[in-house]
Amino acid sequence: SDYQQLGYYLRSNLFQGVPLKTRSLVKDSYTPDVFQKAIRDPKNWHGKKIYELGKWYEKYFIDLRVQKAMADKYG
């Protein structure tokens, strides 16, 4: 039966669970000095400044509201 097969698999340790130590491709790809030299500037996030992101999100949500209003009005 399925119950006996599941018991067999659990006893055989086929389901070993999650690894005890997690690995990251980024950490494996770069040496530790890369992370120490990295400077994080909260005002310049991936080449965009915070207020630019705020403006983009504001325009995005206004556009969503306009689309919803148009759909409600014209179907």
Position 58 in a domain: yes
Position 69 in a domain: yes
5-9, 10-14, 16-20, 46-50: which range is least confident on average?
46-50
Q: Confidence class of residue 15 from pLDDT cuts 50, 70 and 90?
A: low
Position 12 in a domain: no
Count up the domains in the chain and report the number: 1
Position 46 in a domain: yes
pLDDT computed for residue 60 by the predictor? 92
Q: pTM value?
A: 0.35
Position 48 in a domain: yes
Domain that holds residue 53: 23-74
Question: Secondary structure of the chain in the HEC alphabet?
Answer: CHHHHHHHHHHHCCCCCCCCCCCCHHHHHCCHHHHHHCCCCCCEECCEEHHHHHHHHHHHHHHHHHHHHHHHHHC
Position 4 in a domain: no
Position 51 in a domain: yes
